[in-house]
Structures are given as C-alpha cells and as structure tokens.
C-alpha cells in the first residue's frame, strides 16, 4: 500500500477520535495530546510499512 493511503487512514481515524472526544466534552488539552500521539503512531507505522527494503547484495 502507498504512504498516501496510510496518511488518509490516519486522518480518518484521527478525525473520528477528535469528534468523539468533543462530543464527550473532553478538555481541549487532552484532545491535543491524544491527537499528537495518534498522529505519531500512525506516521511511524506508515513509514515502516511502506519503506523499500534493502536488497541483499
């Protein structure tokens, strides 16, 4: 899968989590912290899944 598809998926999950947190009246600072954590985990997993493997010589 491509890196762009992973990023789109991360954005969808992040948007849903933020929307749910707002509906539950979670304080804004915790929404920001959770968003940063979800984005970081998502980017790390996207990079690890889409990077090209080194070919043995």
Which pLDDT tens digit goes with each residue over 20-37?
999 999 999 999 999 999
Closest-CA residue to 14 (of 6, 34, 49): 34
Range of the domain at 23: 3-50
State the chain's mean pLDDT as an integer: 90
- Radius of gyration over alpha carbons of the chain, in Å? 15
Residue 57 domain flag: no
In a domain, 16, yes or no: yes
Q: Is the pLDDT at 53 greater than 80, yes or no?
A: no
Position 38 in a domain:
yes
Task: Give the rounded percent of residues in the chain with a pLDDT score beyond 90.
Answer: 61
Q: Nearest 10 degrees: CA dihedral of 34, 29, 3, 55? A: -70
pTM listed for this prediction: 0.78
Structural domain contains residue 55 = no
Q: Give DSSP secondary structure letters for 11-54.
A: HHHHHHHHHHHHHTT--HHHHHHHHHHHHHHHHHHHHHHHSPPP
Whether 56 is covered by a domain: the verdict is: no
Asked whether residue 14 is assigned to any structural domain, the reply reads yes
Q: Give the total number of structural domains in the chain.
A: 1
């Amino acid at each position: 899968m491509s890196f762009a598809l992973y990023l789109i998926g991360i954005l969808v999950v992040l948007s849903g989590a933020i929307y749910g947190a707002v509906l539950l009246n979670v304080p804004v600072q915790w929404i920001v912290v959770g968003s940063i954590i979800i984005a970081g985990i998502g980017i790390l997993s996207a990079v690890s899944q889409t990077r090209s493997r080194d070919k043995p010589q």
